Structure 1
Amino acid sequence: MAADLHMHSTASDGQYSPGELVKMGKEKGLQVLALTDHDTFSGAQEAIAAGERLGVKVLRGVELSAREYPSLHILGYGFSADAPSIQALCKKMQAARDERKYRIAAFLREKGVDIDLREVEELAGGAIIGRPHFAQVMVRRGYVQNNREAFDRYLDTEEYQKIERRKSSAQECVAAVKNAGGKVSFAHPYQVKLENGPLEDLVIKLKGYGLDAIECYYPKHTPEQQAFYLHLAEKHGLHATGGSDFHGERVKPEVEIARLEMELDWLLG
């Protein structure tokens, strides 16, 4: 089926509303899409309703950050919105994000980037504040030329990691989704920056927690990386997922909605 299983809306740090994303996905020819906002699934109902109107299957999803590595992310799909496990975890992570915004603002001031937190909050429009919101204000105020520069110089550096928010363990993230009746995929494995051997060890550990899939198809994966991730999925009895990580051209101008052909019976059944 033609699908994009990794997309972000205004419910977190994306540019477009959940309904707008579904409309754009329909225009792209998608049959299935998953809304995977950071630490929240508050936009899912709007997206699902839009999907029902437009004939697109929309999966309730979420992207969770685990503490073992700076960019270890877990994608959850098809879970129950009423399940206490996923509600509690998202609430905990949202509180950590809300507390982090003050430390990001202080960190940037120390670097000579004086950002008014109220402007960041206004830009977020009530959504959970993420680093892309700060990046967009930095561009607006002329401190950097684009979001990529904001991350490279300030928001994704080794020094920044010292003030990063509190996160749950990968095991907690996987368990919360699985206990809510959902499926779990290891997001963009290249971002963890592990050599092949240690990465396979991580996959084995995640599978022990209940991992169902690896996000093998991703815009920034090289052909060699994609081939290795597909090899890992086959070797360890996992499914292959894929997605664009679309946020909108204002946030990630180089990323477009993907139209990936995938076997999804295991996920939709």
Structure 2
Amino acid sequence: MIYKADLHTHSTASDGQYSPAELAVLAKKRGMDVWAVTDHDNLDGLDEAVETGINLGLQVVRGVELSADDYLNLHILGYNFSAAALSPWIEGKKNGRDERKYRIWNFLCSKGVEISLEEVDAEAAGGAVGRPHFARVMLRHGIAATWKEIFDRYLDTSEFQEIEKGTKPSARECIERIKAAGGRASLAHPYQIVLNGESLEQLIARLKGYGLDAIECFYPIHTVAQTAEYIELKRKYELYATGGSDFHGEKSKPDHLLAAWELELDWLLG
């Protein structure tokens, strides 16, 4: 069965602009049948999202986005898992997320960027601090003119990525944890992955061996050629197609608006 869905969104539980409840309202207004909140390494917003979604008549998929250490920007989306089963592992990773803000802050200080960590914490409003919170504060202080400039100059450079190495689980562990919790796993935004020694097809074949279920074929800034490539890879490796906006809010990613992709989701919802 075909559903209108967005399976990749972020709330204030990680680095999104809107609370899970606010995001559910926006998803309903966008015309979705199915919506997933997929906060970074965080399940804190799921209960609020599900409760609000039920009240709105929206089918909510419990989700999460996990960062893997294999390559830069290799992220695994988990869906429809048992939160009770996955939560102990996620909670164990939270200290790592908390420590990360100090690594980012120290890195920026080494580049001459002087901002208050307290202001960054306030920007996160109780959620897990991530790069978007630093970027918003940096924009506010005029450290750079655009979001892209901040990431190109500071927060997504090869030097920055060196401070991240060894701090995340492997893609294999991410997938196996999701599967052990009864969930499904999809490879997020394939175009963003900075490969080193493997082709994308080789990576997908390897992830399939770990239990990967799907590829995020539909994404706001995939080109037509990229979408066609990912659809062919999902066909070749007998995977499913997911689609998501990677919505964080207009302040963070104005070119990633909520989507309503037409997806076959019986494999996920059944």
Establish whether TM, by shorter chain, passes 0.5: yes
Q: Which secondary structure does the structure 1 equivalent of 2:60 belong to? A: strand
> Where does 1:92-241 land on structure 2 (aligned, <5 Å)?
92-164=92-164, 166-194=167-195, 198-241=199-242
**More deviation in 60-69 or 94-103?**
94-103
Is the aligned partner of 1:70 residue 2:41?
A: no
- For residues 217 and 28 of structure 1, the distance between their equivalents in structure 2, rounded to whole angstroms, comes to 17
Residue type matched to 1:161 in 2?
A: Q
| Cα deviation, residue 78, structure 1 | 0.4
**Match of 1:29?**
31
1:140 to 1:61, Cα distance in 2 relative to 1, 3 A? same
TM-score, length of structure 2 as denominator length? 0.96
Q: Which secondary structure does the structure 2 equivalent of 1:262 belong to? A: strand
Is the aligned partner of 1:4 residue 2:1?
A: no
Instruction: List 4+ stretches of structure 1 deviating above 6 A.
Output: none
CA RMSD of aligned residues (A): 1.4
Asked whether the 8 Å contact 2:72–2:194 carries over to 1, the reply is no
Q: Deviations over 1:196-229 (max 9, x none)?
A: x711111011010000000000112111111010
**Match of 2:54?**
52
- For residues 156 and 162 of structure 1, the distance between their equivalents in structure 2, rounded to whole angstroms, comes to 10
- For residues 135 and 10 of structure 1, the distance between their equivalents in structure 2, rounded to whole angstroms, comes to 15
Q: Which secondary structure does the structure 1 equivalent of 2:264 belong to? A: coil
Q: Deviations over 1:148-201 (max 9, x none)?
A: 221111000011111126000111000111011000000001111449x71111
| Cα deviation, residue 235, structure 1 | 0.7
- For residues 129 and 193 of structure 1, the distance between their equivalents in structure 2, rounded to whole angstroms, comes to 23
Residue type matched to 2:69 in 1?
A: R
Asked whether the 8 Å contact 1:89–1:173 carries over to 2, the reply is no
| Cα deviation, residue 104, structure 1 | 1.1
Asked whether the 8 Å contact 2:38–2:62 carries over to 1, the reply is yes
Residue type matched to 1:221 in 2?
A: H
- For residues 72 and 93 of structure 1, the distance between their equivalents in structure 2, rounded to whole angstroms, comes to 17
1:194 to 1:222, Cα distance in 2 relative to 1, 3 A? farther
- For residues 251 and 143 of structure 1, the distance between their equivalents in structure 2, rounded to whole angstroms, comes to 16
| Cα deviation, residue 126, structure 1 | 1.4
Gaps of 5+ in 2: none
Q: Which secondary structure does the structure 1 equivalent of 2:185 belong to? A: strand
Q: Which secondary structure does the structure 1 equivalent of 2:8 belong to? A: strand
Q: Deviations over 1:82-124 (max 9, x none)?
A: 10xx223322332212112112111111211101111101111
TM-score, length of structure 1 as denominator length? 0.96
Q: Which secondary structure does the structure 2 equivalent of 1:7 belong to? A: coil
Q: Which secondary structure does the structure 1 equivalent of 2:152 belong to? A: helix
Q: Percent identical across equivalent pairs?
A: 57
Asked whether the 8 Å contact 2:97–2:129 carries over to 1, the reply is yes
- For residues 124 and 172 of structure 1, the distance between their equivalents in structure 2, rounded to whole angstroms, comes to 28
- For residues 110 and 180 of structure 2, the distance between their equivalents in structure 1, rounded to whole angstroms, comes to 42
